[in-house]
Chain A
């Protein structure tokens, strides 16, 4: 007696691992399974916080740093750089940071839809539309200002907008690292604006860029604690 009709029928059934349906061996195994699975999923769906914070921190540190070296208070450059270099480097690094953020986010959240995706999308629109509307006004004014005041107006407004939007992001996601970074950026922007033209980029480079690097490290540490099984 070989090849009963039952065994052929079995082949047509979708292959299900018979152990799959069995309960966990005991309560401890069940709890371990839950914790492992949740932390593994969180790890895969949460992008490394450093990849989101650090590229912006580097852009500010290097970009505004070069700007300070080329256009410090007074008339003489600290380092003889071509005058187009600082802003070019700043914009290239900012674009690179934006691209990194986009790639990292899509890889992590790309296959998740729903409320989180909508929050992210609307937050992105706030950045884009907010920037365009603010800078359009600045462009009209700054052409009538001397170079150093125009530079201060642009950078203080850009940094102020960044601080406000970081705080808003912290409120949207109840993310204290993001919110605190927003507060920090707003405060150092105030300090830089009072220090005046020439000094503002130094404050933004060191305290702003450095603050983002620190915030990224803190956010990563919190993330690791959260993801531990």
Chain B
């Protein structure tokens, strides 16, 4: 059995990554909007985003919109790939390929 990516294989971070994967490639979403989509507290979301950023799965950039600072969050290429591999692995667990021999 393939090892499931421990960074993604946690409920909260899986929700974060799944949400970000729904954005188009090359897009980023503002932190408050992501927080609203996930219904998480700011502190909680920050903690999980930091773990995802440390793994190189998420890119966080800080810019200014007019005078107010804005934090933008998006999935990195590596993060998108990791999410796709994780989803594949989950699907394989649920529906093992018929060619595999039963023990």
**A residues with CB within 8 A of B:** 14-17, 19-24, 27-28, 30-31, 33-34, 37-38, 40-42, 44-45, 110-117
B11:A24 contact, CB within 8 angstroms? yes
- Having A112-B30, A113-B28, A114-B23, one finds 5 other A-B pairs with CB under 8 Å, namely A15-B44, A41-B22, A45-B23, A115-B25, A116-B26
Chain B residues near A42 (CB, 8 Å)? Answer: 22
Complex CA distance for A53 and B11, rounded to whole angstroms: 38
B32:A24 contact, CB within 8 angstroms? no
User: Which residue of the partner chain, among B18, B23, B74, contacts A34 with CB atoms under 8 Å?
Assistant: B18
Chain B residues near A44 (CB, 8 Å)? Answer: 37
Report the minimal beta-carbon distance from A13 to chain B, rounded to whole angstroms.
9
User: Which residue of the partner chain, among B9, B19, B47, contacts A37 with CB atoms under 8 Å?
Assistant: B19
Chain B residues near A116 (CB, 8 Å)? Answer: 24, 26-27
Report the minimal beta-carbon distance from A156 to chain B, rounded to whole angstroms.
36
Report the minimal beta-carbon distance from A111 to chain B, rounded to whole angstroms.
4
B15:A16 contact, CB within 8 angstroms? no
Complex CA distance for A23 and B4, rounded to whole angstroms: 10
User: Which residue of the partner chain, among B12, B22, B74, B91, contacts A114 with CB atoms under 8 Å?
Assistant: B74
B46:A37 contact, CB within 8 angstroms? no
Chain A residues near B15 (CB, 8 Å)? Answer: 33, 37
Complex CA distance for A30 and B93, rounded to whole angstroms: 11
Say whether, besides A27-B94, A33-B15, A33-B18, A111 and B44 are in contact (CB < 8 Å). no
Complex CA distance for A15 and B22, rounded to whole angstroms: 27
A117:B27 contact, CB within 8 angstroms? yes
Say yes or no for B60: interface residue by CB 8 A criterion.
no
19 contacts between A and B (CB under 8 A): A16-B47, A17-B44, A21-B12, A22-B11, A23-B4, A23-B10, A27-B93, A31-B87, A33-B11, A37-B18, A38-B18, A41-B22, A41-B23, A42-B22, A111-B33, A112-B28, A112-B29, A112-B33, A114-B27
User: Which residue of the partner chain, among B19, B28, B43, contacts A38 with CB atoms under 8 Å?
Assistant: B19
Complex CA distance for A41 and B74, rounded to whole angstroms: 14
Question: Quick one: closest A residue to B87, CB to CB?
Answer: A34
A41:B26 contact, CB within 8 angstroms? no
B26:A38 contact, CB within 8 angstroms? no
Question: Quick one: closest B residue to A28, CB to CB?
Answer: B94
Complex CA distance for A17 and B30, rounded to whole angstroms: 23
Chain B residues near A110 (CB, 8 Å)? Answer: 33
Say whether, besides A30-B14, A40-B37, A111-B32, A24 and B9 are in contact (CB < 8 Å). yes
Say yes or no for B82: interface residue by CB 8 A criterion.
no
Complex CA distance for A17 and B94, rounded to whole angstroms: 28
Say yes or no for B41: interface residue by CB 8 A criterion.
yes
User: Which residue of the partner chain, among B10, B41, B43, contacts A22 with CB atoms under 8 Å?
Assistant: B10
Say yes or no for B90: interface residue by CB 8 A criterion.
yes
